[in-house]
Amino acid sequence: MPSEAAEWARRIQESLDVGHSFAAFDLAREGRAAFPDDLHLVLLATLALMRCGGPAEGRALLASHEARLGLGEKAFKLGRSLGKPGAG
């Protein structure tokens, strides 16, 4: 197991780069358990979820970290509308 959040992020990104979204999400879940305050891992987990076909779950994960990510209300509303029919 990686001992630093950056190493988790590198492994997750490598999985995403080769199209292994489910493996990337599993790694992100493990990395976030080890480093729960690392926002880069949150963003990578969100990307993996969305690539696995879970846009609602990805939006929920982002919403749970909205204040820490510094998302303004306008950006958050835009993010919530992504993937909805007729949006954008």
Q: Assess whether pLDDT exceeds 90 at residue 56.
A: no
Q: What is the pLDDT of residue 88?
A: 43
Instruction: Render the burial of 39-56: b for 16+ CB within 10 Å, e for the rest.
Output: ebbbbbbbbbbbbeebbe
pTM of the model: 0.75
Q: Assess whether pLDDT exceeds 60 at residue 27.
A: yes
pLDDT band at 37 (very low <50, low <70, confident <90, very high): confident
| Domains of the chain from N-terminus onward | 5-81 (1.25.40)
Average pLDDT along the chain: 83
